């Protein structure tokens, strides 16, 4: 029986439900001690003095002078120090590291730091330091605006968002004979590997990174584990003992990355019938104190700022700037939720302004096969914008409810969106991912660096391999993501694992199958000895990308989605209750339909939270509401009933036609929810749309 398309048992499911799965804080090593980070309490300035009286015999104390290699967290640009030398650029910036046998004593240890303060900058509009600027241009907007009957213009804002993975960041660093091993909760073992090599000045084979069972990531464990791993490694090297560092929720919230806040300005030229003649978009992202991943987050942001619409004349400008808060980083969607929120609320405002049905407006302008995107990418048959729109409207009974909800404190709104799968442009070529498949006595073992972080990686990859080999699913094992064992198959990000890594494994399996012929694995191993097949990513020939001018194939393919949100509104408290949510999403092929529904429901719920509840309050550049009693995420009681419809329009270069599914679901929910609120005649253009904000929202002129 084929495994693909079936709800097979999760590879690590039993361990998780029975509580035997071991997360980083469950793991002990002989002689292990605990590590802690001493952080800045100002947003900008320099260190004047550091004083403490910690007994040398008991405490290990590390500062920047203990770093054997470069004092840097090696990511895209090497601007972020591992430990502050003199200049502080944000609150809670790491300055000193402490380790002790006893966790309580460690927490009580007192270090006094005096500063020379400088005036911090928190407003991205006023920042003069740009991390990255991008321009996308197609046609001539001047020309397009000249033929317009009307212009609709507006500014839209989104705030920070905290990942709130169930398990906070944590690692254990174990000193080895002239090297180091780091175990931890993470998405990308080879990212950590690269940054530890630079920090400790160690060669490849002296650094080993092992991902252990990980309780969620959502992008928050894409870049940050490189920081906490660096700290634990320094303490381990100096003390000569294994060092465990686990953040509590508060430290995780104040010190680690968040989603980039954004300000989007949109200006659209239109014919009376709703045909778009020109589109101008300006995107500003707040990067925080260091570059980290801001350039690539901005890139994906501007590439999705067009929404899934056709334009002859469009100009998109983007800028990611520095401010004095903790750096913002990767978060599910990676810039696309920010910009598509603006585009979809703007589309709603266009429909309101022109008095056109919101579905008709989108139908008229949606991308079709054969159209080109803002970067000039010609879309093939794998374009489903109209299909998902039509299905979502039918399935939710949108038109009828749109009429019947009026005047009843109920609202219904929709959003149309898309999401590029995999790294941008020729990013996958640069990554040059490698995956391996090893023949075992009973079947095969998958060797990849891609991590299971709750989304179902191990299961989904095993399904692909099982069918490609013609073996039963339970004969396929998945190796630990341990850089000592697996090749670098790239990071677990960008909705790439299934489409990109799954495809490489499918090719490995096809070759293995050919080699085996009619032999059983056992017989083959006996006769020929071990068999490991390794393959590299192969670029589909049509992908041509000009990074300089942002022209060409931004992504190999796109997923397409249409969400319909229904809400109830309390006119006394201004609370919004999301009641029903219809999500229709084309992901090429659902390798595991239950996991796919889980991703779509989970991503949508996270998007509903982003739209209504999740507000990061910054005070003096520090998250002031760093606890789950003050930073609210949706519980089951705040989550609507979901109706998920999977559309399978295959991508010919994906395994069994699969595209990505991890990120797209969070793009659609925020604008769908806000457009449902707009249906109540409230002019909301920013999220989170908290009751306080709604109370101040003007009416949409009637």
Report the nearest approach of ligand MOS to the CB of residue 666 (Å). Answer: 9
Nearer to ligand MOS, 164 or 392 (CB): 164
Report the nearest approach of ligand MOS to the CB of residue 168 (Å). Answer: 17
Residue 169, sorted as left (phi over 0), alpha (psi -120 to 50) or beta, turns out to be beta
Q: Which of 159, 215, 219, 556 binds ligand MOS (CB under 6 A)?
A: 219
Tell me the DSSP string of 460-526.
HHHHHHHHHHT--GGGEEE---BTTTS-----S-TT-IIIIIHHHHHHHHHHHHHHHTT--HHHHHH
Q: 200 and 237 in contact (C-beta within 8 Å)? A: yes
Report the nearest approach of ligand MOS to the CB of residue 312 (Å). Answer: 31
* Stretch of 116-124, 325-333, 473-481, 689-697 lying at the interface with ligand MOS (CB under 6 A): 325-333
* Stretch of 125-133, 329-337, 342-350, 607-615 lying at the interface with ligand MOS (CB under 6 A): 329-337
Q: How far is C-alpha 74 from the chain's CA centre?
A: 19
**661 lines the binding site for ligand MOS (CB under 6 A):** no
Nearer to ligand MOS, 74 or 293 (CB): 293
Position with the least CB separation from ligand MOS: 219
The Cα 465–Cα 446 span in angstroms is 8
Q: 216 and 454 in contact (C-beta within 8 Å)? A: yes
Nearest to 561 by CA among 411, 391, 311, 356: 391
Nearer to ligand MOS, 493 or 533 (CB): 493
Nearer to ligand MOS, 127 or 585 (CB): 585
**331 lines the binding site for ligand MOS (CB under 6 A):** yes
Nearer to ligand MOS, 490 or 552 (CB): 490
Report the nearest approach of ligand MOS to the CB of residue 667 (Å). Answer: 12
Nearer to ligand MOS, 588 or 603 (CB): 603
Report the nearest approach of ligand MOS to the CB of residue 297 (Å). Answer: 8
Q: 252 and 37 in contact (C-beta within 8 Å)? A: no
Q: Which of 222, 252, 467, 667 binds ligand MOS (CB under 6 A)?
A: 222
Which one-letter DSSP state was computed for residue 306? T
* Stretch of 224-232, 331-339, 385-393, 544-552 lying at the interface with ligand MOS (CB under 6 A): 331-339
**334 lines the binding site for ligand MOS (CB under 6 A):** yes
**332 lines the binding site for ligand MOS (CB under 6 A):** yes
* Stretch of 59-67, 330-338, 346-354, 415-423 lying at the interface with ligand MOS (CB under 6 A): 330-338
The SS3 call for residue 354 is: helix
Q: 84 and 97 in contact (C-beta within 8 Å)? A: no
Nearer to ligand MOS, 220 or 621 (CB): 220
Report the nearest approach of ligand MOS to the CB of residue 627 (Å). Answer: 24
| 169-198 positions binding ligand MOS, by CB under 6 A | 187
Radius of gyration of the chain (CA): 26
Q: 493 and 222 in contact (C-beta within 8 Å)? A: yes
Nearer to ligand MOS, 96 or 493 (CB): 493
* Stretch of 141-149, 328-336, 393-401, 682-690 lying at the interface with ligand MOS (CB under 6 A): 328-336
Nearer to ligand MOS, 222 or 467 (CB): 222
**Residue 598 burial (10 A CB sphere; 0-12, 13-18, 19+):** middle
DSSP lists the bridge partners of residue 265 as 155, 282
Q: Which of 174, 237, 494, 590 binds ligand MOS (CB under 6 A)?
A: 494
Nearer to ligand MOS, 71 or 424 (CB): 424
Q: In 143-202, which ranges are E strands?
A: 150-158, 170-176, 179-184
Which residues, in sequence order, are CB contacts of 92 under 8 Å at separation 6+?
39, 40, 251, 254, 255, 326, 622
Report the nearest approach of ligand MOS to the CB of residue 30 (Å). Answer: 34
> Taking the alpha carbons of 41, 51, 94, 216 in that order, is the dihedral positive or negative?
negative
Neighbours of 562 (CB within 10 A): 34
Nearer to ligand MOS, 365 or 488 (CB): 488
Per-residue burial over 544-559, b if 16 or more Cβ lie within 10 Å, else e, is ebeeeebbbbbbbbbb
| Interaction site with ligand MOS (CB under 6 A) | 187, 219, 222, 330-332, 334, 493-494
């Amino acid at each position: 029986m084929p495994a693909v398309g079936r709800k097979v048992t999760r590879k690590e499911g039993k361990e998780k439900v029975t509580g035997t799965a071991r997360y980083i804080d469950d793991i002990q090593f002989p002689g292990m001690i605990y590590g802690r980070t001493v952080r800045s309490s100002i947003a900008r300035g320099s260190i004047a003095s550091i004083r403490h009286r910690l007994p040398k015999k008991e405490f290990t104390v590390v500062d920047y002078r203990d770093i054997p290699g470069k004092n840097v967290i090696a990511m895209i640009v090497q601007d972020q120090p591992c430990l502050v030398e003199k200049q502080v650029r944000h609150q809670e910036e790491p300055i000193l590291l402490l380790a002790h046998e006893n966790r309580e004593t460690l927490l009580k240890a007192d270090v006094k730091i005096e500063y020379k303060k400088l005036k911090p900058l928190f407003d991205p509009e006023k920042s003069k330091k740009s991390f990255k600027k991008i321009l996308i241009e197609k046609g001539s907007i001047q020309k397009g605006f000249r033929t317009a009957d009307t212009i609709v213009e507006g500014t839209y804002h989104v705030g920070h968002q905290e990942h709130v993975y169930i398990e906070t960041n944590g690692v254990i660093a174990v000193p080895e004979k002239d090297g180091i091993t780091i175990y931890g909760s993470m998405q990308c073992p080879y990212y950590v590997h690269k940054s530890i090599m630079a920090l400790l000045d160690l060669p490849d084979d002296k650094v080993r990174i092992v991902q252990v069972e990980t309780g969620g990531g959502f992008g928050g464990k894409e870049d940050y584990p490189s920081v906490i791993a660096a700290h634990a490694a320094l303490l381990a090297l100096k003390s000569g003992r294994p060092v465990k560092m686990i953040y509590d929720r508060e430290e995780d919230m104040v010190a680690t990355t968040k989603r980039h806040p954004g300000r989007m300005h949109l200006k659209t030229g239109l014919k009376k019938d709703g045909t778009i003649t020109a589109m101008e978009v300006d995107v500003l992202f707040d990067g925080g104190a260091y570059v980290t991943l801001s350039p690539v987050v901005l890139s994906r942001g501007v590439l999705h700022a067009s929404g899934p619409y056709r334009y002859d004349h469009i100009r998109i400008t983007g800028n990611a700037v520095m401010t004095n808060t903790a750096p913002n980083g990767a978060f599910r969607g990676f810039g696309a939720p920010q910009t598509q929120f603006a585009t979809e609320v703007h589309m709603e405002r266009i429909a309101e302004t022109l008095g056109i049905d919101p579905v008709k407006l989108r139908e008229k302008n949606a991308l079709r096969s054969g159209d080109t995107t803002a970067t000039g990418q010609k879309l093939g048959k794998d374009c489903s914008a109209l299909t998902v729109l039509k299905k979502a409207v039918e399935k939710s009974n949108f038109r009828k409810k749109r009429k019947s909800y009026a005047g009843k404190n109920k609202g219904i709104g929709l959003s149309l969106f898309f999401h590029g799968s995999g790294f941008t442009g020729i990013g996958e070529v640069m990554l040059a991912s490698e995956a391996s498949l090893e023949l075992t006595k009973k079947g095969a073992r998958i060797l990849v660096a891609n991590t299971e972080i709750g989304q179902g990686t191990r299961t989904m990859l095993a399904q692909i391999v099982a069918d490609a080999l013609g073996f039963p699913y339970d004969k396929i094992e998945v190796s630990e993501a341990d850089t000592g064992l697996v090749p670098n198959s790239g990071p677990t990000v960008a909705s790439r694992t299934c489409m990109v890594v799954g495809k490489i494994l499918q090719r490995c399996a096809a070759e293995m199958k050919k080699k085996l012929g009619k032999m059983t694995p056992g017989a083959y191993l006996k006769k020929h000895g071990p068999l490991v097949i390794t393959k590299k990513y192969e670029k589909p020939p049509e992908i041509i990308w000009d990074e300089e001018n942002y022209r060409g194939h931004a992504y190999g393919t796109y997923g397409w989605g249409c969400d319909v949100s229904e809400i109830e509104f309390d006119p006394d408290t201004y609370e919004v209750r999301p009641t029903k949510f219809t999500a229709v999403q084309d992901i090429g092929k659902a390798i595991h339909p239950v996991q796919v529904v889980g991703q779509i429901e989970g991503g949508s719920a996270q998007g509903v939270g982003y739209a209504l509840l999740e507000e990061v309050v910054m005070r003096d550049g520090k998250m002031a509401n760093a606890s789950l009693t003050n930073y609210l995420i949706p519980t089951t009681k705040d989550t609507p009933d979901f109706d998920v419809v999977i559309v399978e329009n295959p991508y010919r270069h994906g395994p069994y036609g699969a595209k990505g599914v991890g990120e797209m679901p969070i793009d659609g929910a925020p604008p769908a929810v806000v457009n449902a609120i707009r249906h109540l005649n409230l002019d909301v253009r920013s999220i989170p749309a908290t009751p306080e904000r709604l109370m101040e929202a003007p009416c949409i002129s009637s």
